[in-house]
A and B are shown apart, each in its own frame.
Chain A
Amino acid sequence: MATVGSTRTPSFLTMALLSLLLGIGVLFIHSASTAGDTTFPGYYAKAQLIRIAIGVGIFLVFLRLDYRRLEEWATPLYTIGVTLLIVLLALKVVRTGPSRWFYLPGFALQPAELMKVFSVLLLAKVMKPSGATRHASAQGIAPFLVMGIPVALIVLQPDLGTALVLVPVFFAMYWAAGASTTRILGIMGAMVALLPIAWMGLHPYQKSRLSVFWDPAGADATSGGYQIRQSLIAIGSGGDTGRGLYQGTQNRLNYLPEDHNDFVFAIIGEEWGLLGTLTVVLLFLSLYVSCAGIALRTQEFFGRLVVVGLTTYLAFQTLVNLAMTMGLAPVTGLPLPFVSYGGSSLLTSLVSIAIILGIGLRPVRTVAPDGLQSGTSPILHLGRTRR
């Protein structure tokens, strides 16, 4: 197949986008976590730099890895992930309160983060048409199970935000695997119809959580939570050009809690203004568009589905985080990929992007008939969109 170029390194543009995002992240983690008089890098920025160093190592490993090995590993990885989630739940019964982390020496592991990648891999594997059954829709209930188990386990943690990221990922992959739009809309409709029944089955305490979740925080800043209010003030007061790096008052005076974490974008807004925020949005958009380009170029089914799934996960998480800081979505605790402070999240984001770029590096070496013949290609929908 000669449709894909055979470069051995990812494009300079993609790497530049990624580096810029990571760099901006470190810069604003420093701004958000210091009183301004601390010399760079300070505690948090230093920790982030160390994580980036580790992350880049893992990134390179995954970049070199032939992604088809991942197809073989998908099932064991998924099993390990589910096991970890179950262990967490078991621990939760013993202890009280939400339990999302395994505390390892020097590192807190958040299995739900890793599970995002593992689920995408196994989904891609089960959705990949094999032999006679070319259409993903013919896979029956298997994809739903693969998706449903981790979602349920993560909801029980409870970490509704992370669980909800997996839903659009599923639909994007299902659609990319060739399911008809009608079918997808049907499934979505059924889920919406089932919501009231699920609602009745919920614990009252979870109901209240959900009602807070859907509280229209963004519509009226005063009725929203403290964080949203402060975040809006931070972004809004940045104006066109911002107050200048390290000069944000919302940041400097600690009005914005978690500002190096989930609300780092608000600090960018405050200190760099509209110019900075639009730049960051543009960087993200360019990165994901180039990922989408990889999906289009990838002819091999498993690879394409993985790229679609991981890109959707990153893009959706980015969108939810940005919307949250702007009061358009409730506070969900989803960090901004590549930019927010945090180990598991950064690692997962870097692994994901490495897998995507790794797939982009490898020309498809498949032989017909394997479901990738023109006309039956799952790129159908994407192709249409492109046109």
Chain B
Amino acid sequence: MVLFVAIAFFGIAARLVYLQHFRWAHYHVQAETVRRSIRYISPPRGSIYDRAGRPLATDVPTHEVTYSLQGVENARTTTRYVARALSAQGSLPDDRRVGEDYLVHRLHRIRAAVRPQFAVGVTPSAQLWLGGVAAERLAALDAAIAKYPDRFPGVVVSAEHRALFVEPAQIFAGEVGVLRLARLAGVTDLDHYYTEHVWLPYQRARSIENRTARQWAFEEERVLCKDVSFETVVDVSYNPDTYPGLQIRQGRRRTYPEGVVVGQLLGYQGRPTPTHIESWKANHQLLRRSTDLSDIRTFLAIRGGSYFDDAQVGMTGLERRFESHLSGTAGATIHEVDRFQRESGPPLDEAPVVPGRDLTLTLDRDLCVMLQQEFVDREAVAGSILIATPATGEVLGWCSFPGFDPGNWRSQWDVLSQQPGSPMTSRPQRSPIPPGSTFKMLLATAALQEGLLERDETIECTGFYDPNNRNHLRCRNHSRALTDIDLETAIARSCNTFFYVLGGRRLKSSGIDRWGRMFGFGSEPGPGLGRGRPFRITHAESAAIGKGSVVATPLQVLRYVCTIANRGVRPVLHLTRDEAAPGERLEVSPWVWEEVILGMEGTVRFGSASAPGLGLRRFSCALKTGTAVQGNKDIAWLVGFAPVDDPIIAFTIALEEQDLHGGEAAGPYAAAILEWLSEHRQLPLLSQEGNR
């Protein structure tokens, strides 16, 4: 007897030596693997600042509550296991199929019945789930439970009753937690909330599973609540039993402090589209949060330029254009996790995130705010204002009206989609419109440079280009008393006939076309600033006054104005200093520019923007008005630069849906801009007369 016991003990000892000495490495690796879990960290996105470092878009760290379907909706996972165990042996005696759907249906009814008890904090007693189950089936289920108790929380087999019971508090623990959280967050329609966040994703996960037999959709980390309060963070972290399956993760929220101001230019972020994901996959850049690596080196090898499939990526505007600059590189920590996948202790290994780089724009935020306010105050329908430094091509002011707030446009979509003037369109880049009479300086420059117009030459204007066809190609821009028009007057008073002659009879389509391209029409005014429509002149007379086949984006017009202000240097417009590039000098004699600019000065002195009420005479500026037809309404243009001799700023104002002509409509805007810049940026824009 002693011998038997001794042999048994020696057997145990031998087994111990085998396990602990010879198989140590094997089990050690298992222990190390099972307890290590990787947690990915999204990199903070770079901020966007204006030229003075005032924020336009920043990332605010927040906390979000995440979950996996498996963790929260384990009632359904459990149901699946139960159904699988029960249906392993054919049909029930009474021929009723024990399908998963039937069990879920029953569970739904139990859930509905016990919900009121959960609401008042009462733990409901065990409920009958399925009765009249064949003994073999129960036995199979019981065996499964004995083997994998973790898969069957709250499932009670009763052989005596030939029935299956559930403990609601255990099987619905996930739902109770989610609903508790929702209640904390002030959600009223809890049913809808649960359906939206858990039940529908669950259905989708099931259909994925049915199609591909893959389980990842159940294990995927999903966001339940974003931007949760500190109290919630504490509550969830310290009471994991109250919130089973829920985890706190650091998240980020993109905020746009100025809201609608330059919103379209900045653009918005969103979840990556299937196109994004396909392209990431193709470039091996995709990371799933469910990817479970236990070694930080592997992660380091793959993380370069990788994206999470639930990352936020720039969808439009600068957020999209500077995506790689702003996005940064993901980090990860390897943590010890306990049996419930909860982190424990400090990280074992860490690959720090590389935050996205900041982006500093050339824009002046306050100026942009002021421009936006002008539109609002004057009750404009739509339009754009652009202001740039002509010498460098830096864009200082940008306003596209109406706009949207990239921070919360989704919640305002109903309003935005009904609003006239297509608020989602960034006009300066994306909406080519006829430049109207602002195009006339181009013809003047071209004609003077090519010798097709003498310096002091006058052209007769009788109000018509062709006296035989008086309904066509008219000029109503100046008094009929004025018939012999020189260039200065033609520009200042915007005489159409003068330019019909220049365009139609002297430069012709090919000349306008060539000079248009020289001034940059039809090409990109700067990196990422939009190409507009192809530039091709088909009808020289209408093109001569900036109508017909001539269309340009406001940015293209701005570059054209800057070129005149620079006396022939065509700048590269840009929004960040990094993109600055030297301009290109046009082959035009200096006197030609002075002739043209003289006409633009005349616009303020005696021409189309000379009305004292506009208040532009105080400033040393060279302007040109324009009015282009757009449907039933007009587009009112006013472009120019200031001061005349050594321009600091150039601007374009394009107001759509106008009844007034260019100078009348846009003049007050220009005056306000010049006023503001003089006052707030101390720019020497006042004329000597104005100074007095």
Contact = CB atoms under 8 A, between A and B. Distances in A.
Interface of A: 96-97, 172, 175-176, 203-205, 207-209, 211-212, 215, 225-226, 232-240, 249-250, 252-255, 257, 269, 273-274, 277-278, 281, 284-285, 288-289, 292, 308, 312, 315, 319, 322-323, 326, 328, 381-382, 385-386
Given A253-B35, A253-B337, A281-B13, A236 B135 contact: no
B5 A273 contact: no
Interface in B13-33: 13, 15-17, 19-21, 23-24, 26-28, 30-32
A319 B9 contact: yes
User: Max chain B CB contacts within 10 Å: which of A284, A292, A312, A315?
Assistant: A315
A253 B13 contact: no
B415 interface: no
Contact of B16 (A97, A281, A385): A281
Nearest to B344: A253
User: Max chain A CB contacts within 10 Å: which of B16, B20, B160, B337?
Assistant: B20
Contacts of A274: 16-17, 20-21
Contact of A236 (B5, B26, B139, B143): B26
B135 A204 contact: yes
Contacts of B344: 252-253
User: Max chain B CB contacts within 10 Å: which of A233, A273, A315?
Assistant: A233
B150 A226 contact: yes
A97 B159 CA distance: 9
Given A205-B139, A252-B344, A292-B5, 8 more contacts: A176-B1, A205-B135, A236-B24, A236-B31, A249-B32, A249-B35, A250-B35, A253-B337
Nearest first, the 6 closest Cβ-Cβ pairs linking A and B are A236-B27, A237-B31, A208-B139, A274-B20, A253-B338, A205-B159
Q: Is the interface of B mostly helix, strand, loop or mixed?
A: helix
B28 A237 contact: yes
18 contacts: A203-B135, A212-B143, A226-B148, A233-B31, A235-B16, A236-B19, A236-B26, A237-B28, A237-B32, A239-B28, A250-B31, A281-B13, A281-B16, A292-B5, A308-B1, A312-B1, A326-B19, A328-B15
Interface in B478-504: none
Contact of B5 (A97, A277, A288): A288
A385 B143 CA distance: 43
Contacts of B9: 281, 284-285, 319
Contacts of A205: 135, 138-139, 142, 157, 159
User: Max chain B CB contacts within 10 Å: which of A205, A257, A281, A381?
Assistant: A205
B158 A96 contact: yes
B645 interface: no
Interface residues of B, number: 50
Given A233-B30, A253-B336, A253-B344, A204 B21 contact: no
B3 A385 contact: yes
B20 A273 contact: yes
B149 to A, nearest CB: 7
A226 B160 contact: no
Nearest to A227: B149
B6 interface: yes
B302 interface: no
Given A212-B143, A308-B1, A240 B339 contact: no
A211 to B, nearest CB: 7
Q: Is the interface of A mostly helix, strand, loop or mixed?
A: helix
Nearest to A382: B1
Nearest to A381: B1
B142 A233 contact: no
A97 B142 CA distance: 12
A255 B34 contact: yes
A249 B344 CA distance: 11
Interface in B123-146: 135-136, 138-140, 142-143, 146
Contacts of A319: 5, 8-9, 12
Interface in B334-358: 336-340, 344
A51 to B, nearest CB: 26
B151 to A, nearest CB: 10
A237 B146 contact: no
B204 interface: no
Nearest to A319: B8
Contacts of B147: 212, 215, 225
B139 A253 contact: no
A312 B4 CA distance: 11
A277 B20 contact: yes
A278 B16 contact: yes
User: Max chain B CB contacts within 10 Å: which of A208, A249, A281, A328?
Assistant: A208
A381 to B, nearest CB: 7
B585 interface: no
A315 B5 contact: yes
A322 B344 CA distance: 30
A278 B146 CA distance: 31
A269 B338 contact: no
Given A96-B161, A176-B1, A385-B3, A253 B21 contact: no
A318 to B, nearest CB: 8
A96 B143 contact: no
B148 A233 contact: no
A175 B1 contact: yes
B156 interface: yes
B2 interface: yes
Contacts of B23: 236
Nearest to A207: B139
Given A273-B20, A278-B16, A289-B2, A211 B143 contact: yes
A257 B3 CA distance: 34
Contacts of B13: 278, 281
A238 B8 contact: no
A266 B143 CA distance: 25
Nearest to A320: B8
Contacts of B5: 285, 288, 292, 315, 319
A323 B64 CA distance: 46
A322 B135 CA distance: 34
Nearest to A235: B19
Nearest to A293: B2
Given A281-B16, A292-B1, A385-B1, A233 B338 contact: no
A79 to B, nearest CB: 28
Contacts of A239: 20-21, 24, 28
A292 B2 contact: yes
B6 A285 contact: yes
Contact of A323 (B12, B35, B146, B158): B12
Contacts of A269: 16, 19-20
A385 to B, nearest CB: 6
Contact of B6 (A204, A257, A273, A289): A289
A238 B20 CA distance: 6
A350 B202 CA distance: 54
Contacts of A312: 1
A281 B149 CA distance: 30
A255 B35 contact: yes
Contacts of B142: 205, 208-209
B30 A237 contact: yes
A124 to B, nearest CB: 15
A249 B338 CA distance: 9
Contacts of A328: 15
Contacts of A254: 338-340
Contacts of A278: 13, 16-17
A249 B31 contact: yes
Given A172-B1, A208-B143, A255-B339, A233 B21 contact: no
A224 to B, nearest CB: 9
Interface string B566-606: 00000000000000000000000000000000000000000
A188 B1 CA distance: 16
A326 B15 CA distance: 8
Contacts of A235: 16, 19-20, 27
Nearest to B24: A239
A249 B336 contact: yes
A212 B340 CA distance: 26
